[in-house]
Amino acid sequence: MQQWSNNSCLGYIRSALERKGWPEEKIREVVKAVYSEFDFKTLEEARKVYENSFD
């Protein structure tokens, strides 16, 4: 398994939003919001949030 990297996560988000044609201002807004979540959720909590989003 690869080592976790906040910057890699943010890179995935940025790449996806760029591919979808989002404007730079909105991309920065989303990246900033995700970045702030790193301080409030553990990796396990974030995984559960993602997995429960499909229910």
Measured distance CA(12)–CA(30) in Å, rounded:
12
Does residue 44 lie in a domain region? Answer: yes
Q: What is the pLDDT of residue 4?
A: 82
Does residue 23 lie in a domain region? Answer: yes
Measured distance CA(5)–CA(1) in Å, rounded:
12
Does residue 1 lie in a domain region? Answer: no
33 lies in which domain range?
6-52
Does residue 26 lie in a domain region? Answer: yes
| Lookup result for tokens 């080592």 | 3
Does residue 32 lie in a domain region? Answer: yes
The number of folded domains in the chain is 1
Give tens-digit pLDDT for 1-55: 677 899 999 999 999 999 999 999 999 999 999 999 999 999 999 999 999 998 7
